Amino acid sequence: MYFKDLFEEKGTYDVIKVKIGWLDPIAPYQSGECPKEVVEKLKQLKPVIHTKGWHDCPYCQNATSSKQYLIEVPGRGKNIMYDIPEMIIHYIEEHEYLPPQEFIDTIINLNK
């Protein structure tokens, strides 16, 4: 499933769900070096929802796949929640995906 980074949709209880890392070859993504601290913090987050079965990485030559888990991260405002696929860690580590800076900043400042 593809969503452009920072795509917003209305969730329950007036929460705005902001999509990050829902990649697909139909659209290019920003690449670069993501801070290691971001990856380490993402690895510590627990998925909250199992959605839509299994997901194969669309960029790998080999069969890299994982269950499609959703991770929710509190965002930049009271009613903002980032929705990210667990596969985001793979995209960052293996395919040099660089999330938007506002998301990087949020993760770096998480639990501070």
Q: What is the pLDDT of residues 50-106, one digit of tens each?
A: 665 677 888 887 656 566 788 889 987 789 999 999 889 999 999 999 999 999 999
**Residue-level pLDDT at 89:** 93
Helix (H) or strand (E) holding 73: strand 65-74
3-state secondary structure of 63: coil
Report the alpha-carbon distance of residue 18 to residue 89 in Å, rounded.
17
Q: Is 19 helix (H, G, I), strand (E, B) or coil?
A: strand
Among candidate residues 11, 2, 23, the one with its CA nearest the CA of residue 74: 11
Choose between 47 and 80: higher pLDDT.
Answer: 80
- Please state the pTM of the whole predicted model: 0.89
Residue 13 has pLDDT above 90, yes or no: no
AA identity, residue 111: N
CB of 21 closer than 8 Å to CB of 88: yes
